[in-house]
Amino acid sequence: MKILIIEDDLETAAYLTKAFREAGLNVDHASDGDSGYFLATENTYDVMVVDRMLPKRDGLSIISSLRDQGNETPVLILSALGQVDDRVTGLRAGGDDYLTKPYAFSELLARVEILGRRKGTRDTETVYRVGDLELDRLSHEVRRGGQVINLQPREYSLLEYLMNNAGQVVTRTMLLENVWDYHFDPQTNVIDVHISRLRSKIEKGFEGSLLHTIRGAGYILKASEN
């Protein structure tokens, strides 16, 4: 995956570049708005990570210009401002995701990877399958090994999101944003509790675990290798 980071703080940029490379991503970096816009129009990227406040040209204007030209590369906006309406203006300008500083790198990586895979989105599929787990998006039915599993509506949405991003790390914040539509940090382990409930429903009495916890990052839904 090839990504472009437009970030004016050189130390942050160096850290991000190094960390993304270690995660196996191909990284370009621009340190101001103009050169960032230039790179974005010259090359093709899978994801762009754009700081909102940049010298020469601000992040939102870069995104709107790219969108006006029909460039649909997924963009994650990084911002030091974390207000609700900041998020809204950011997303309205054409951003696909929004992350407020300070953030954990694992959070950023998980989001970038999901944005990068979104190209081959599973949104059009009517049935999600992970191993022997099936989720029918039309009948809202969940089966494992042919056996129906009864889920609460919220558990269903949680599983749907996890299956849509199967094989990807999803963070607690991402779940809270996408399943509950909350953008704050609830301080306790609310998500963990919901996950463990879901986990016991889809794993108890079945062979092989599907929903794995990644320490310090989040969760991943994938079929066991064996």
Binding site for other proteins (CB under 8 A): 82-85, 100, 102, 104, 154, 180, 182-190, 193-194, 197, 215-216
Q: Smallest distance from the beta carbon of 154 to other proteins, in angstroms?
A: 6
Q: Smallest distance from the beta carbon of 193 to other proteins, in angstroms?
A: 4
- Residue 63 CB burial class (10 angstroms; 0-12, 13-18, ≥19): buried
Supply the DSSP string of 105-133, one letter for each residue. HHHHHHHHHHHHHGGG--TT-SEEEETTE
Q: Smallest distance from the beta carbon of 103 to other proteins, in angstroms?
A: 9
Is the Cβ of residue 123 or residue 181 nearer to other proteins in the bound state?
181
Is the Cβ of residue 38 or residue 182 nearer to other proteins in the bound state?
182
- Asked whether 159 and 103 are in contact (CB, 8 A), the reply is no
Give the CA count within 13 Å in the CB-facing half-sphere of 5.
25
**Cα 167 to Cα 154: distance, rounded to the nearest angstrom:** 21
**Cα 63 to Cα 108: distance, rounded to the nearest angstrom:** 19
Is the Cβ of residue 84 or residue 138 nearer to other proteins in the bound state?
84
Is the Cβ of residue 134 or residue 177 nearer to other proteins in the bound state?
177
Q: Smallest distance from the beta carbon of 87 to other proteins, in angstroms?
A: 9
